[in-house]
Amino acid sequence: MVNAGVFYHQDFASHGVVILKNRVEPGFLALNPLIEAGLLKVFTPRITSEVEELLVRTHFEDHIHDVKKIGYHEVALLSAAGVIQGAEKLASGELKFAFCFVGTAGHHANYHSSWGFCYYNDVAMAVARLNRIGIKRIMVIDIDPHFGDGTRDLLGNDPDLIHINFYAEPFYDITLYEEYNDLNLNQALQNLDVCISAAGDDLFLSCLTSSLQYNWDCEFVIVIFGHDSHSEDYGNFYLSDQAYPEMARQIKKFAAHKPVLFVLSGGSNPDVARRVIPPLIEVFLDNAPGSDEE
């Protein structure tokens, strides 16, 4: 039985935000061998009334109005719909692993506003959906090299949620977040920020190992995956192709048999998408060449 899924809509490539959209179709087409081998099932996201309702619960109406005005409402909502529907299929047990392509990103979107190719916070909307069906102890690991400020704003005070946030040097006011860091590291150890500017494979992977070593209590793992962390992409990490399957193995080991949802974030280089996404996904597939399932 296929228990891994990929969520993809052709509008992500045609109507997505300019800097991000060119990598979407190449990344998806590179999965064809896995799909044809029957290891990965493809799902097409749909905007439903529930998705619309999660949007107005997550974002202020003026922000939604602004996104409509600039023409990204449909594709941003469709992107969030894929993440929400991926989360639902993991929660129901239909899938064990899901990878969601998107046309816009989400982690810089807060209640009132957004920036950096993000419009609607897809992960915050999926967390709201999971909470509603009784899944509350969620870990969000953001390995995009830009600080997930929108996600921290929306989810940082949720006592049941853990937010591990990797980033390179800040170009916003970090003092805004110190309060969260002190509070959470000293009291609840609920959120962890890992600033590793210009990190290569060794530093990134060793920091990932140490950040997963805490005795985190969670039942569901969400990974915000930006391949702008690659040395040939635009973010300020300098990872090689080899870092991605190793990152996936660490997360798979940490998650044990808990559901894992990967959500695409930053990244613009089609070659990077084509090279790094399939090996990463293979790690999570039963009986695939890259799987280390015992």
Q: State yes or no: residue 230 binds Zn ion (CB under 5 A).
A: no
> Least separation, in Å, of the C-beta of 266 and Zn ion?
3
Looking at beta carbons only, is 144 or 149 nearer to Zn ion?
144
> Least separation, in Å, of the C-beta of 92 and Zn ion?
30
Q: State yes or no: residue 5 binds Zn ion (CB under 5 A).
A: no
Q: Compose the 167-206 pattern: x for residues touching Zn ion by CB under 5 A, - for all others.
A: ----------------------------------------
User: What is the rounded CA–CA span in Å between residue 139 and residue 126?
Assistant: 12
Looking at beta carbons only, is 115 or 214 nearer to Zn ion?
115
Give the residue nearest to Zn ion (CB). 266
Q: State yes or no: residue 226 binds Zn ion (CB under 5 A).
A: yes
Q: Which tokens hold the place of 17?
A: 């935000």
Q: State yes or no: residue 228 binds Zn ion (CB under 5 A).
A: yes
Q: Which tokens hold the place of 15?
A: 């109507």
Looking at beta carbons only, is 183 or 195 nearer to Zn ion?
195
Q: Cβ distance 191 to 162 under 8 Å?
A: yes
What region does 290 belong to: left with phi over 0, alpha with psi -120 to 50, or beta? alpha
User: What is the rounded CA–CA span in Å between residue 45 and residue 26?
Assistant: 19
Alpha helices in the chain (DSSP H): 10-15, 18-21, 24-29, 32-36, 49-58, 61-70, 73-91, 122-132, 149-155, 175-183, 201-211, 243-255, 270-282
> Least separation, in Å, of the C-beta of 235 and Zn ion?
5
Site for Zn ion in 111-150 (CB under 5 A): 144, 146
> Least separation, in Å, of the C-beta of 215 and Zn ion?
29
The stretch among 4-12, 151-159, 176-184, 221-229 that binds Zn ion (CB under 5 A) is: 221-229
**Residues ≥6 apart with Cβ < 8 Å to 159:** 188, 190
Q: Cβ distance 8 to 27 under 8 Å?
A: no
> Least separation, in Å, of the C-beta of 134 and Zn ion?
32
Site for Zn ion in 250-289 (CB under 5 A): 266
> Least separation, in Å, of the C-beta of 146 and Zn ion?
4
Q: Which tokens hold the place of 68?
A: 């409509």
> Least separation, in Å, of the C-beta of 226 and Zn ion?
4
What is the end-to-end Cα distance of the chain in Å, rounded? 17
The stretch among 24-32, 39-47, 195-203, 226-234 that binds Zn ion (CB under 5 A) is: 226-234
> Least separation, in Å, of the C-beta of 257 and Zn ion?
30
CB atoms within 10 A of CB 203: 16
Q: State yes or no: residue 73 binds Zn ion (CB under 5 A).
A: no
User: What is the rounded CA–CA span in Å between residue 241 and residue 231?
Assistant: 9
# residues contacting Zn ion (CB under 5 A): 5
- Point out which residues bind Zn ion (CB under 5 A): 144, 146, 226, 228, 266
